[in-house]
Every structure is written in C-alpha cells, then in structure tokens.
Amino acid sequence: MITTNRIDEKGNIAPLSILIATHNAFKVREFRAMAAGYPVVFRSLTDADLAIDIEEKGSSFDENALCKARSVYSITRDMVLSDDSGLVIDALEGAPGIYSSRFAGLLATDHDRMDKILHELRYESHRDAAFLCSIAVIFSSGEERLYRGKLAGKIAEKPSGTEGFGYDPIFIPEGQSRTLAEFSEEEKNAVSHRGRALNAFFIDIGLTPQEGARHGKT
C-alpha cells in the first residue's frame, strides 16, 4: 500500500494536492464533494492554468484515463488523477461506452445525447445499463495505478430530475425508483461509479477522513 500522508511539525496531516486532468467544472465539483472530509486538495487544469487539450485515443475506459493522466504528468511531474467514465447499455451492445460524451456528435448537448438514447430504446423493454468509471493515478514518483467503479441500473422511459449532469436524468440505479438526477448530491456521491472508484483509491493509499469530518458533505 502506498501512503501519501504528510505530517507537519504540529503532527497534523498536511492536505494532499492532486491535479485532476480535466477542465470540466462539473466533474471537479463532484470530486471535491466526494473528497470532503479527507485531507485532499483537488486542482483542475484550469486552476493550474494549463491549456491542455487531451485527445482520447484509447479503446477502453482504462486506456483513456491513463492517456489523459500521462499527458498531464509529462508536463507537470505532479501527482495526477484522471478518470474516464461512461454509460454502457446492454440493448445497445455496450454503447455509448467510451463515446458517451460525444454519442450524438461533438457539439451535442446533454439533452441531445439523452434524446438519442431514448429514441434508440423506444421499442426496447430490456433497458439494463451501468455507469462505469476508471480512475488513473500517476504518483509523483511516476508509478501508475488504476481504480474502477461501477453503478448498475436501467434507463428510464423519460428524463426526470434536475440535479447532476450528463445522463443522470435517464439513469435509475439498481434497487431505486428515482433517477440519479433526483438524488441529492450527497446521495449520488455515496453510490456513484466515480465515488466508488475514488474510494478505492483512498483505501489503497491509506487516506482516511479527518476526525469529526463526514465524507460527502460540502
């Protein structure tokens, strides 16, 4: 197990600074909310003033996550975290998968992408799906590690809810009757594919919430 805890002269755990390989403000907000209570400070590429446009050329979530992390690490040599995640739908043979963010075209909106999926499933009764996430971390030493998370569920008949982003309004987690967009931020972070992958990372490096803090609170 790698431990990255740093103790200052007063015996306190110094926050771990991690650069997230993204400019996506929604994604950064989610990571920060999921890490609330942990001695971690997440910085985005925008925060670091890095105008990096990373092309995803991999054939899997793992490959894309590693590609993005390596691109940033090669420039900064700082500890970098990158994720690639998406929606896989059984009836669409795993689509949209790694193409989730551009499923309806490069200029499409979240609404456009949801409309496309609902249209393709309009005659389909088997609507099982899952959100998958791969997190790649490159430590300052250059060591690379992968962490994965999954949230099973199904595709709703129509969008519902105003929280979250992406495909949340049409995804109903397993055992639930609400879409992710009807979950509070704390509820979503407790079950999400990204939250599960991040938690696996925290466990691996021995990172625990600070005393008196509650994970998931903002």
Q: Is 164 left (phi over 0), alpha (psi -120 to 50) or beta?
A: left
Rounded CA separation 78/20 (Å): 10
> How many CA atoms are closer than 13 Å to the CA of 107, on its beta-carbon side?
0
Crossing angle of helices 25-34 and 193-205, rounded to 10°: 50
Among the listed residues 8, 62, 83, 84, the single catalytic one is 84
16-20 and 80-89 as β-strands: parallel, antiparallel, unpaired?
parallel
* Residue 27 identity (one-letter amino acid): K
Active site residue 84: yes
6-7 and 128-138 as β-strands: parallel, antiparallel, unpaired?
unpaired
The candidate with the shortest Cα–Cα distance to 19, out of 2, 3, 7, 31, is 31
Residues taking part in catalysis: 84
